[in-house]
Chains A and B, each alone.
Chain A
Amino acid sequence: MGRVVKSVRSWAALGAFMGLVTTAAPARAHHSLAMYDGTKVRVFTGVVTRISPGGSHVQILFAPLDEERQAVIRDEKGEPVIWTLELTGAAQAAREGITVKSFAEGTIFSAALHPLRSGDPGGSREGPMYKCPENTPPEPGKHCDSVAGSTMHGQGTLPTPTD
């Protein structure tokens, strides 16, 4: 293969790779984002109850922790309130270290999300996620990014909540 072809193919390969990367970004998601309220940001620290590694979107189900970070929030029947968090596709999430294994059930993590307009407990991830060390929740009112030994998944800083 000639050098010119190599360089052109490198170009195309870079484009193909970047295409995959940008495909995973919200602005180029495979579905409309009209269901999320982009004006609002909520930040949670919670416990993973289930992770579904979908090709188009990873879905993490989690039970938010209370402000004291000592217990999960429960409804009037005493059941944990479960939120859904929509991420990028499984391949892109894996490149950020978010896999079925690394975010197994019981993992304590923090993430920001744009909530659903409908008011249902769910949202679309915004910014990086932080994973606390095993069985080590943050101090009251804080998130995993404050815990020594936590790991960051994604880039940037944990967004500031809007309310």
Chain B
Amino acid sequence: MDRKHRRLAATWISAVALAACSPGNEPAREAASGVDTAAGTAVQRPRSVGRGWPVPEWEGRLPRGWRLEPGGRGPSLPRGVVPDGVEPLERDIFTSDDFYVDRDLWMDPRYYRCLSAQALEAEASLQTEVSDPALAPWGYCAAGYPREHIVSPYPFKTAQEHYEALLAEAASYGGPTIPTRATLPEWDGRYTRNVLIRHVARTTGGPEPPPEFDEPPQWIMGPYTQIPTTLSLLTPEYQQRFVQLLYHEGNSRAPQWSGMFCRPEGFMRQWMEQGGPPMDITLTQDRMTILAKGTDNIIRVFHFNRQFKLDGSVPYLGEDVRSWYGESIGFWDGEALITWTSNIQGWMTHGSFENSDQLQTIEIFTPRRNANGELIGLDHETVFYDAEALVEPIRQVRFLSKSHELSEAPPYTYVRCNQTIFLVNGRGIPVAPGTVIEYKVEDLYGRPWAAVWEEWFEQDMQRPERKRLFGF
């Protein structure tokens, strides 16, 4: 055990010991607002060191004149309309024959015609009546979700610092809380993504959800964010990877969504529009389990009162080997569940940026109650740390609405992806059983999507030379 590990372990043991000695360690001791209600007394906590800081209000969503693409995938103007006062570039992502040589243009929103990543993807993948990339519409250049709302407001450089600070904070209030079976929070249930409810309301013209469902804009899905804003969060290598993905979606029209080829969906998929509803949450004294699914199964287990080993390439619980959803530990601070996830496989998410295998998250789940004090869902705050892909930590806050008790929810079923779409000449097309095709075996851990694009669509591009394997 190294010094850092020993220190974390000591902090943990002290915290647990304190909690065991504390008479007021019931899970309902503290409300999410920071009001301590132990023994019937209300004690207002000061602002937490690392959770629950409000997301700044943003007034810029969907200005007049924007329209949602089918599927609600981000704003764009009618085809052929250039926003007032905007001078189009001579060469943009839809007309360029080599995005690598355009690097100086990448931070100019006009390079993407001011489309959000989702709108660009929708244009390429869903507006299938238009095959000429040059006809792509413009987005709205005057607005976009601000970078300062995306970056983490907390002062921590690593997930470990963040977790230790929250652990120490819990200890200072007599925690971490150790619930008994009888006092476990009543979170068991099926939850849905709030954004889906809003999507349905908007696309069907139905009423907006009640105020209890409010959540900040889901910037991470890309509908409101200018692409250069997202790029500014990324390191140069991951900027290039993101532009590569956007180019082959928007220009080559050769998108590769993981689900098309029964590839794993990846960790970040959980924050995307389709990533994971319904989500079944089950609590025991030792674990919180999330069962969710999209095209793939999402199974996450948060282990309480456990510690990561810190002698590997990243913190890990079992072995220093990455897994698709990583490994998670956590503790209770009153009713809040504070978790740390590490040992995550680097991967891609279509319409979004790649994560590296250095990705770690601090996720905080807090119950949201209505005026009667009844649980209506969970606020889910996530801070993403990825020193390889991100230039600084970023944050996403969402609300998971409780839709069913587990006893009344439709059954959860296992997803087995049945591949019907295969790569033929670099493009995914459905292939009937019995058909013989030429198939190149993928290197699953070698960015297989990029290998396909580079082979079929980048032959004449000036791609920066990679480190040579035999360059000695």
Chain A residue contacts of B350, Cβ below 8 A: 32
- Interface contact B430-A59, CB-CB below 8 Å: yes
Q: Which of B196, B295, B416 lies at the interface centre, i.e. has the most chain A CB atoms within 10 A of its CB?
A: B196
- Interface contact A9-B402, CB-CB below 8 Å: yes
In the bound complex, how far is the Cα of B128 from the Cα of A52, in angstroms?
25
Task: List the 9 closest A-B pairs by CB distance, nearest first.
Answer: A15-B197, A38-B128, A32-B125, A19-B196, A12-B403, A27-B71, A32-B255, A38-B129, A12-B401
In the bound complex, how far is the Cα of B130 from the Cα of A2, in angstroms?
51
- Interface contact B277-A19, CB-CB below 8 Å: yes
In the bound complex, how far is the Cα of B428 from the Cα of A59, in angstroms?
15
Chain A residue contacts of B5, Cβ below 8 A: none
Extra contacts besides A57-B420, A82-B432 (16): CB < 8 Å: A8-B376, A9-B402, A9-B403, A12-B377, A15-B403, A16-B403, A18-B200, A19-B192, A22-B196, A27-B71, A32-B256, A32-B260, A34-B253, A59-B432, A84-B432, A114-B128
Chain A residue contacts of B430, Cβ below 8 A: 35, 59, 84, 86, 116, 122
Q: Does B370 contact A (CB under 8 A)?
A: yes
In the bound complex, how far is the Cα of B297 from the Cα of A55, in angstroms?
12
Chain A residue contacts of B192, Cβ below 8 A: 12-13, 15-16, 19
- Report 19 cross-chain contacts, Cβ distance below 8 Å, ordered by A residue: A8-B376, A9-B376, A12-B197, A16-B190, A16-B196, A16-B404, A19-B196, A28-B71, A30-B260, A34-B125, A35-B428, A54-B417, A56-B295, A61-B432, A82-B432, A86-B430, A116-B429, A118-B424, A122-B432
- Interface contact B197-A19, CB-CB below 8 Å: yes
In the bound complex, how far is the Cα of B213 from the Cα of A50, in angstroms?
44
Interface residues as binary, B354-372 with A (CB distance below 8 Å gives 1, 0 otherwise): 0000000000000000111
Residue of A nearest to B129 (CB): A38
Q: Does B183 contact A (CB under 8 A)?
A: no
Whole-angstrom distance between the Cβ of A130 and the nearest chain B Cβ? 22
Number of interface residues of B (CB under 8 A): 66
Residue of B nearest to A6 (CB): B374
Number of interface residues of A (CB under 8 A): 46
Q: Does B193 contact A (CB under 8 A)?
A: yes
Query: Which of A4, A31, A38 is within 8 Å of B421, CB to CB?
Result: A31
Residue of B nearest to A3 (CB): B372
Chain B positions within 8 Å of A, measured between CB atoms, are 70-71, 121, 124-131, 190, 192-194, 196-197, 199-201, 203-204, 209-210, 212-213, 249, 253-257, 259-260, 273-274, 277-278, 294-295, 350, 370-372, 374-377, 401-404, 415-418, 420-421, 424, 427-433
Q: Does A37 contact B (CB under 8 A)?
A: yes
Chain B residue contacts of A35, Cβ below 8 A: 421, 427-430
Chain A residue contacts of B210, Cβ below 8 A: 8, 11
Chain B residue contacts of A32, Cβ below 8 A: 121, 124-126, 249, 255-257, 260, 350, 428
Whole-angstrom distance between the Cβ of B212 and the nearest chain A Cβ? 6
- Interface contact B259-A56, CB-CB below 8 Å: yes
Chain B residue contacts of A103, Cβ below 8 A: none
Chain B residue contacts of A22, Cβ below 8 A: 196, 199-200, 203
Chain A residue contacts of B249, Cβ below 8 A: 32
In the bound complex, how far is the Cα of B258 from the Cα of A71, in angstroms?
40
Q: Does A23 contact B (CB under 8 A)?
A: yes
Q: Does A148 contact B (CB under 8 A)?
A: no
Whole-angstrom distance between the Cβ of B61 and the nearest chain A Cβ? 19
- Interface contact B295-A9, CB-CB below 8 Å: no
- Interface contact B125-A28, CB-CB below 8 Å: no
Query: Which of A13, A28, A36 is within 8 Å of B403, CB to CB?
Result: A13
Q: Does A39 contact B (CB under 8 A)?
A: yes
Chain A residue contacts of B127, Cβ below 8 A: 38
Query: Which of A13, A30, A82, A86 is within 8 Å of B294, CB to CB?
Result: A30
Residue of A nearest to B204 (CB): A18
Whole-angstrom distance between the Cβ of A127 and the nearest chain B Cβ? 15
Chain A residue contacts of B194, Cβ below 8 A: 15
Chain A residue contacts of B371, Cβ below 8 A: 4
In the bound complex, how far is the Cα of B295 from the Cα of A23, in angstroms?
11
Whole-angstrom distance between the Cβ of A51 and the nearest chain B Cβ? 11
In the bound complex, how far is the Cα of B122 from the Cα of A38, in angstroms?
13
- Interface contact B278-A30, CB-CB below 8 Å: no
In the bound complex, how far is the Cα of B403 from the Cα of A32, in angstroms?
29
In the bound complex, how far is the Cα of B421 from the Cα of A84, in angstroms?
11
Q: Does A74 contact B (CB under 8 A)?
A: no
Residue of A nearest to B190 (CB): A16
Chain B residue contacts of A82, Cβ below 8 A: 432
- Knowing A23-B274, A35-B427, the reply to whether A30 touches B374 (Cβ < 8 A) is no
Chain B residue contacts of A37, Cβ below 8 A: 128, 131
Chain B residue contacts of A33, Cβ below 8 A: 125-126, 128
8 A Cβ contacts from A50-78 to B: 50, 52, 54-57, 59, 61
